Structure 1
Amino acid sequence: MPTLDPQNIRTLRQQHPDKRARDFADQFGLAEAQLLAAHVGQGVTRISADPDVLFPRLTDLGTVMALTRLDACVHEKVGVYDKYHSGPHAAMVLNDDIDLRIFPKYWHTAFAVDQNGKRSIQVFDAAGDAVHKIFLRDGSNHAAWETLVLELALADQSQNQPVSPRVPTEPAKSRPERADDLRADWQAMTDTHQFLSLVSRQKMNRLGAYRVAGAPFVRALAPSSIATLLDRLGETHVPVMIFVGNRGCIQIHSGPVTNIKPMGPWLNVLDQGFNLHLRGDKVAEVWEVRKPTRRGEALSVEAFDADGGLILQIFGHPKSDAPEAADWPKLVADLPDAKAVVCA
């Protein structure tokens, strides 16, 4: 498909007004950032994507909706953007409702969007894929949004958006001959944040390590386990932490989930203040994972797509004093095994 100029993009968009932005961009061979850039000056303004510039101004917006997504999963939380902690390699928003891990090097381009009666701030990586979005609600402070746009607007308001090629998902990388060393390092862990550097030392990645670690560290589960687990969480109200992230942002929900609504291939959590939309048909592998820490064992259920990409992680809530919290290990233990997982 030939490269579309901004005018052609706008014309096509007018012909498909009801199509979701991401679906429209995919259909016409665009990056989503290119679609927004084509509308700069028409309800879209380029603003600074620097988290240290952007996040201190977000608190004034009041209650908004935070959205972080992958192709297979969308994670939405309602709350206020307070308690921002800066960091050159990783920053955080850390409060009861909005809980983010931010990786600034991927925050490449940002737009303030005022279209179809909705206002948002949308951030994209160098490939033009969405990193994080913030949507105002009826009760948000719209005057603060207008001030933010004026203060953070860039001198460059071009309608053209160059993009870099997407970095492909790294497939599972296993070294079965290093299994004993992997298990020894795993057993010596004292914090879950040590895990990625641990597997990197063994020349593996997350999924590759799971495929060779074996019991008692991991158990391969049936792909349908995610749907089963969400249903059981909805029935039992066991508090959990649900992580969904891309290269630039990880978003976390902490607490129970209650309203589980499957719709076609989508597995949905539709709770007050938290929505999750997961493509169940995109789940290719699911693993029960146990990691030792100073505070005790961290037990998670983790789903991967067919390319080996991590879709989401569900942990028991480590700080919850709800009586249901003790039921998390039993919920996981009752999930069915996978028939077979090929080690590659």
Structure 2
Amino acid sequence: MSQTLTSQLSPHDIRAAAAENTSTRARDLAASLGLTEAHLLAARTGHDVTRINAHPDAVMAAAERLGEVMALTRVEAAVHEKVGHYANYHPGPHASMVLNDEIDLRIFPRHWVHGFAEARQTEHGVRRSLQVFDAAGDAIHKIHLRDASNHDLWDEVVAGLATGESSDTLETTPREPTEAAKSDPAKLDILRKEWARLTDTHQFLRLCSKLKMNRLGAYRIAGAPFVRQLDPAAVDMMLEQVRDTGTEIMLFVGNRGCIQIHSGAVQNLRPMGPWQNIMDPGFNLHLRRDKVAEVWAVEKPTQRGPAISVEAFDAEGGLIFQCFGVGKVGNDHRPAWGRIVEALPGAQEAAA
């Protein structure tokens, strides 16, 4: 996406384009103008947008006051939406968390750079939200108010977050490219030996880093019994089986600055064109199936039993989602989930 058109479109031009395209999604409008969503919001500063402190310590404290809201985290190929209350926030200089049954987030504060409060007039009334973007202007996390939210506290919350910045332009940095798969076949024996010794799933990325690989690169060379490449069509089959069997899952979607997690069952699948949609009370997932380039079934040993996941990647090597089974406390082994994953078709089977 071009970063140069920002200087050619004035804030007035951007506002005019937004006014003429009210039915177009902000992300799509921004792309058509060669901008980012953050540029669209910045152009409306002083109109229906206020610049706010983007640090998660400030945003999470404000979100807790707003009552029931919708939390949204996305990547290019997936949008993850959860309805609930922000509570039980754990700050940290490098990583923070929101931990509760409704909203479950892993936050990386250094990517929370640009913040906006929007109160946009629509045909359905005023739509209020807090939105955070990274240095490139790409969305990190959004908090949308709902009918049941504490709208009476909105002005007070925004005033507490406001930076006083009145500029309607925005300086952004070039977008960091997605890291392509990194493998080192010369270290395959070490990878497999150390993988077999894992006691916690969180040790895996440290192992990859030590071997100068990344997640997808390690998957591509590890082989059985650690990984099995699946047919991309296995994603729909997995979700259908999860729905039909009532198996509870943990479904992760995350960008550089925020990972959002749903834990529970899947009830309503509604495919539409390239999209597969989970449309459940309190949880929606919108997945672009045509963006799924690689899918892997992965097994990692832990002290609580094997942790089995299905993980999807886009053509650039970016992680779209991870899905695990939900088991009893203290046990990572979920037999029902394991049976679903075992039955999914492999990539070679599909080719045959």
Question: Which range, TM-score by smaller chain?
Answer: over 0.9
Counterpart CA distance in 1 for 2:40 and 2:282 is 29
Q: Which residue of 1 is the match for residue 275 of structure 2?
A: 266
1:224-257: CA deviations, max 9, x gaps?
Answer: 1101111111111100000000000000000010
After TM superposition, the structure 1 = structure 2 runs for residues 30-45 of structure 1, keeping only pairs within 5 Å, are 30-45=35-50
Q: CA deviation at 1:320?
A: 6.8
Counterpart CA distance in 1 for 2:329 and 2:20 is 50
What is the SS of the residue equivalent to 1:144? helix
Q: Which residue of 2 is the match for residue 25 of structure 1?
A: 30
Counterpart CA distance in 2 for 1:16 and 1:56 is 33
Residue 86 (1) aligns with residue 95 (2): no
Counterpart CA distance in 2 for 1:340 and 1:127 is 41
Counterpart CA distance in 1 for 2:21 and 2:63 is 32
Q: CA deviation at 1:318?
A: 3.0
Residue 125 (1) aligns with residue 129 (2): no
1:248-287: CA deviations, max 9, x gaps?
Answer: 0000000010100100000000000000000000000000
Q: What TM-score results when the alignment is normalised by the length of structure 2?
A: 0.94
Counterpart CA distance in 2 for 1:319 and 1:62 is 30
Counterpart CA distance in 1 for 2:318 and 2:52 is 30
Residue 99 (1) aligns with residue 104 (2): yes
What is the SS of the residue equivalent to 1:296? coil
What is the SS of the residue equivalent to 2:17? helix
After TM superposition, the structure 1 = structure 2 runs for residues 107-146 of structure 1, keeping only pairs within 5 Å, are 107-116=112-121, 117-146=126-155
Q: Which residue of 2 is the match for residue 192 of structure 1?
A: 201
1:69 corresponds, among 74, 91, 94, to 74
Question: Is the CA contact 2:270–2:276 (under 8 Å) kept in the aligned structure 1?
Answer: yes
Question: Is the CA contact 2:42–2:169 (under 8 Å) kept in the aligned structure 1?
Answer: yes
1:266-316: CA deviations, max 9, x gaps?
Answer: 000000000000000000000000001111110000000000000000001
Q: Which runs of 4+ in 1 moved over 6 A?
A: none
Q: Which residue of 1 is the match for residue 62 of structure 2?
A: 57
Letter in 1 for 2:327: P
1:291 corresponds, among 271, 285, 300, to 300
195-204 vs 51-60, greater mean Cα deviation: 51-60
1:95-137: CA deviations, max 9, x gaps?
Answer: 0010000000000011010002100000000000000000000
1:183 corresponds, among 185, 189, 192, to 192
After TM superposition, the structure 1 = structure 2 runs for residues 248-267 of structure 1, keeping only pairs within 5 Å, are 248-267=257-276
1:304 corresponds, among 288, 295, 313, to 313
Q: What TM-score results when the alignment is normalised by the length of structure 1?
A: 0.96
Question: Is the CA contact 1:101–1:251 (under 8 Å) kept in the aligned structure 2?
Answer: yes
1:16 corresponds, among 16, 21, 25, to 21
Q: Which residue of 2 is the match for residue 235 of structure 1?
A: 244
Counterpart CA distance in 2 for 1:193 and 1:57 is 30
Counterpart CA distance in 2 for 1:319 and 1:248 is 29
2:181 corresponds, among 172, 191, 213, to 172
Residue 329 (1) aligns with residue 338 (2): yes
Q: CA deviation at 1:145?
A: 2.1
1:179-225: CA deviations, max 9, x gaps?
Answer: 10001111111111111110111111000000011110000000111
Letter in 2 for 1:101: R
Structure 1 unmatched runs, 5+:
none
Q: CA deviation at 1:340?
A: 8.7
Counterpart CA distance in 2 for 1:107 and 1:195 is 25
Counterpart CA distance in 1 for 2:82 and 2:205 is 27
Counterpart CA distance in 1 for 2:324 and 2:94 is 24
Q: CA deviation at 1:168?
A: 0.3
Counterpart CA distance in 2 for 1:76 and 1:14 is 26
1:311-337: CA deviations, max 9, x gaps?
Answer: 00000113379xxx6311110000001
260-269 vs 49-58, greater mean Cα deviation: 49-58
Q: How many residues align?
A: 338
Structure 2 unmatched runs, 5+:
none
Question: Is the CA contact 1:239–1:320 (under 8 Å) kept in the aligned structure 2?
Answer: no
